[in-house]
């Protein structure tokens, strides 16, 4: 029997995408993917350290692997991603059952390290270098979904928001050459992928020579077979009219923007070093909604940043009232080592952070429900991604503005663009009835 690998991924879409690449490398060497830890010859843990929670989760998963390693010492345990960037030393000292430790810059060397037979082996590159990082070799990823795929177009971040560890674990911002991006997209389209997500920590700042994000969106949209293009995450300081025009003007670019405000208080935004004011944020959202009336707005928020008062928090609530979000993620502030805010006193009590989280979530949930309810009775184009994970009598699709729609199961629709009438809506998903199947690239 051939060798098998198991991958556990924590964190953002970029980590998911990196894991798809790791899987691709191992698959190309004849390894088979398994969903069962017990069957695996290689176990890869791709970690996230953006908040204490995912960081702790990664550690407890790594800890659990000790038992497996005891039972089967021939299993190779690999730890990669953002956690080793900050504490590879601790991992090697504390977890003797970990064989290979790699970071965010060299995870693609995983196969060389497995084959080298050397154990333990640690190679984590430092992230402070200003020089251009090496471009990853071209890898055919093992896709999580055969119809929708991500392409990382920009790695790292130069913005140093005071709460954020990403610049320290992912290094300086660098953009992938556009011809390389287009090449990757073409390969995915040849495999039948219809929807592409362009990923970057601050994708609005994408720049390679003269090519900026709107140009890249146009180039990717031109690829034969690609029906939909999304991009994320947008940064309010970089998001501008040229990007709004690209959403409005390029048919393949979907009406969905993930534009995290983090806070609605100018005082807190300043302390976070976000580089924009509440007024500027609201102005950009209004401009977006005017140019692209059916756009869906998504955002991230942090509650309980050091020194955040009730008044600051109320400013966040009022920003939400003014902007109206379709989707959002709220996080309690979590102090991260190396960051500037780590030196500030984490002085909003846990219960108060939790109260703010609940209050903001309730408002956002109400808005999402109201926004979704507006679509009941309308016709929407959805891309059918596959079976619903929770009900095998239903299939799951997404509208152009990233809303989940459940329809009755019909396996012939898998991977197709379909028109549905929305019949029901809640905060997190909608239900729909298929109206007609769309043929090929035909648009409605
Ligand atoms: N580059 C993106 C995403 C960064 S990480 C951006 O700038 O928006 C994803 C989200 O995690 C952030 O938007 C933020 O809301 C949250 N986050 C990051 N660091 C955090 C911290 N220390 N505590 C709580 N939430 C945090
Ligand atoms: Fe973190 Fe800010 Fe960079 Fe986003 S822009 S990755 S929040 S430092
Ligand atoms: Fe987490 Fe690293 Fe992404 S810290 S959010 S996996 S960039």
| Alpha-carbon span 222 to 233, nearest angstrom | 22
Q: Which residues line ligand 3 (CB under 6 A)?
A: 11-12, 14-15, 48-50, 81-82, 165-166, 169-170
Whether 260 is in the pocket of ligand 1, judged by its Cβ within 6 Å, is yes
- The rounded Å distance from CA 135 to ligand 1 centre is 25
Confidence of residue 136 (pLDDT cuts 50, 70, 90): confident
Cβ-based burial of 182 (10 A; exposed 0-12, middle 13-18, buried ≥19): middle
pLDDT, tens digit, 9 for 90 and up, residues 102-118: 999 889 999 999 999 88
Choosing from 51, 159, 166 the residue with most ligand 3 atoms within 8 A of its CB, the one to mutate for a pocket test is 166
| Nearby residues of 113 by Cβ (< 8 Å), 6 or more positions away | 78, 100, 102, 121, 123
pLDDT, tens digit, 9 for 90 and up, residues 403-422: 999 999 999 999 999 999 99
Q: Which residues of 141-151 are buried (b: 16+ CB within 10 A; e: fewer)?
A: bbbeeebbbbb
**Mean pLDDT (whole number) for 139-148:** 96
- The rounded Å distance from CA 106 to ligand 3 centre is 15
pLDDT, tens digit, 9 for 90 and up, residues 259-302: 999 999 999 999 999 999 999 999 999 999 999 999 999 999 99
Terminal alpha carbon distance of the chain: 49
Same fold, 4-125 and 379-436: no
Confidence of residue 129 (pLDDT cuts 50, 70, 90): low
What is the homologous superfamily of the domain 131-372 according to CATH? tm_1862 like domain (3.80.30.20)
- The rounded Å distance from CA 58 to ligand 2 centre is 21
Checking if the pLDDT of 443 tops 70, the result is: no
Phi, psi of 326 (to 5 degrees): -90, -25
Nearest CA to ligand 3 atom 1: 48
- pLDDT for position 73: 95
Is residue 46 within 8 A of residue 22, CB to CB? The reply is yes
Nearest CA to ligand 1 atom 11: 50
- pLDDT for position 125: 85
Global model pTM greater than 0.85: yes
Nearest CA to ligand 3 atom 3: 12
**Ligand number, closest to the Cα atom of 203:** 1
**Mean pLDDT (whole number) for 325-346:** 98
- The rounded Å distance from CA 166 to ligand 2 centre is 6
Which position has the higher pLDDT, 135 or 34?
A: 34
| Alpha-carbon span 61 to 68, nearest angstrom | 11
Checking if the pLDDT of 132 tops 60, the result is: no
Checking if the pLDDT of 438 tops 60, the result is: no
pLDDT, tens digit, 9 for 90 and up, residues 342-387: 999 999 999 999 999 999 999 999 999 999 999 999 999 999 999 9
Rounded to 10 deg, the angle between the 241-249 and 213-221 helix axes is 10
- Residue 168: both structure tokens together: 């320290």
**Ligand number, closest to the Cα atom of 163:** 1
| Distance, CA of 53 to chain centre | 17
- pLDDT for position 117: 87
**Ligand number, closest to the Cα atom of 333:** 1
Q: Can you give the residue ranges of every domain in the chain? A: 4-125, 131-372, 379-436
Collapsed DSSP state (helix, strand, coil) of residue 68? helix
Confidence of residue 441 (pLDDT cuts 50, 70, 90): very low
**CA-closest candidate to residue 369, choices 325, 399, 329:** 325
Please give the CATH number for the structural domain made up of 4-125.
3.40.50.12160
- The rounded Å distance from CA 300 to ligand 2 centre is 11
- pLDDT for position 113: 94
Q: Percent of the chain scored above 70 by pLDDT?
A: 96
| Alpha-carbon span 247 to 313, nearest angstrom | 31
**Ligand number, closest to the Cα atom of 334:** 1
| Alpha-carbon span 278 to 299, nearest angstrom | 14
Nearest CA to ligand 1 atom 10: 300
CB-based contacts of 307-311 (< 8 A; 24+ apart in sequence): 307/268, 307/271, 307/344, 307/347, 308/263, 308/265, 308/268, 308/333, 308/348, 308/356, 311/265
- The rounded Å distance from CA 427 to ligand 3 centre is 26
| Alpha-carbon span 227 to 189, nearest angstrom | 10
- The rounded Å distance from CA 410 to ligand 2 centre is 41
Query: Which CATH number is correct for 379-436, 3.40.710.10, 2.60.40.420, 3.30.70.20, 2.40.50.140?
Result: 2.40.50.140
| Alpha-carbon span 299 to 12, nearest angstrom | 14
Strand 404-408 and strand 430-437: pairing?
parallel
Rounded to 10 deg, the angle between the 178-190 and 213-221 helix axes is 30
**Mean pLDDT (whole number) for 164-168:** 96
**Mean pLDDT (whole number) for 179-191:** 97
**CA-closest candidate to residue 14, choices 251, 173, 192, 179:** 173
Provide the residue count of the chain.
444
Checking if the pLDDT of 128 tops 90, the result is: no
What distances in angstroms separate CA 287 from CA 10, 34, 238, 244, 280, one per listed residue? 35, 47, 14, 8, 11
**Mean pLDDT (whole number) for 196-216:** 97
């Amino acid at each position: 029997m051939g060798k098998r690998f198991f991958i556990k991924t924590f964190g953002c879409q970029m980590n998911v995408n990196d894991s798809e690449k790791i899987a691709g490398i191992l698959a190309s060497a004849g390894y088979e993917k398994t969903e069962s830890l017990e069957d695996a010859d290689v176990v890869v843990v791709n970690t996230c350290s953006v908040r204490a929670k995912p960081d702790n989760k990664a550690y407890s998963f790594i800890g659990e692997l000790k038992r497996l390693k005891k039972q089967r010492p021939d299993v190779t345990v690999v730890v990669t991603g953002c956690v080793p960037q900050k504490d590879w030393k601790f991992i090697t000292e504390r977890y003797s059952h970990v064989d290979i430790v790699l970071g965010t810059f060299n995870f693609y060397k995983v196969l060389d390290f497995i084959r080298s037979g050397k154990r333990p082996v640690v190679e984590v590159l430092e992230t402070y270098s200003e020089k251009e990082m090496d471009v990853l070799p071209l890898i055919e990823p093992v896709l999580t979904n055969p119809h929708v795929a991500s392409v990382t177009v920009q790695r790292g971040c130069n913005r140093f928001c005071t709460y954020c560890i990403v610049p320290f674990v992912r290094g300086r911002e660098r953009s992938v050459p556009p011809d390389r991006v287009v090449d990757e997209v073409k390969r995915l389209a040849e495999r039948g992928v219809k929807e592409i997500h362009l990923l970057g920590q601050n994708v609005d700042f994408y720049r390679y020579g003269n090519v900026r994000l709107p140009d890249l969106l146009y180039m990717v949209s031109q690829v034969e077979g690609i029906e939909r293009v999304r991009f994320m995450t947008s940064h309010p300081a970089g998001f501008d009219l040229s990007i709004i025009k690209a959403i409005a003007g390029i048919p393949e670019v979907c009406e969905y923007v993930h534009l995290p405000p983090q806070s609605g208080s100018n005082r807190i935004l300043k302390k976070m070093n976000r580089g924009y004011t509440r007024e500027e944020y609201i102005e950009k959202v209004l401009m977006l909604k005017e140019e692209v009336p059916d756009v869906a707005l998504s955002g991230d928020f942090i509650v309980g940043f050091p020194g955040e008062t009730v008044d600051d928090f109320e400013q966040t609530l009022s920003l939400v009232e003014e902007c109206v979000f379709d989707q959002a993620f709220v996080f309690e502030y979590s102090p991260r080592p190396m960051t500037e805010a780590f030196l500030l006193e984490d002085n909003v009590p846990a219960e108060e952070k939790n109260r703010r989280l609940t209050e903001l979530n309730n408002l956002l949930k109400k808005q999402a429900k109201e926004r979704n309810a507006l679509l009941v009775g309308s016709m929407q184009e959805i891309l059918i991604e596959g079976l619903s994970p929770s009900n095998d009598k239903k299939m799951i699709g997404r509208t152009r503005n990233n809303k989940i729609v459940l329809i009755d199961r019909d396996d012939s629709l898998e991977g197709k663009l379909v028109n549905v009438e929305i019949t029901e809506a809640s905060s997190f998903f909608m239900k729909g009835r298929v109206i007609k199947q769309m043929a090929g690239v035909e648009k409605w």
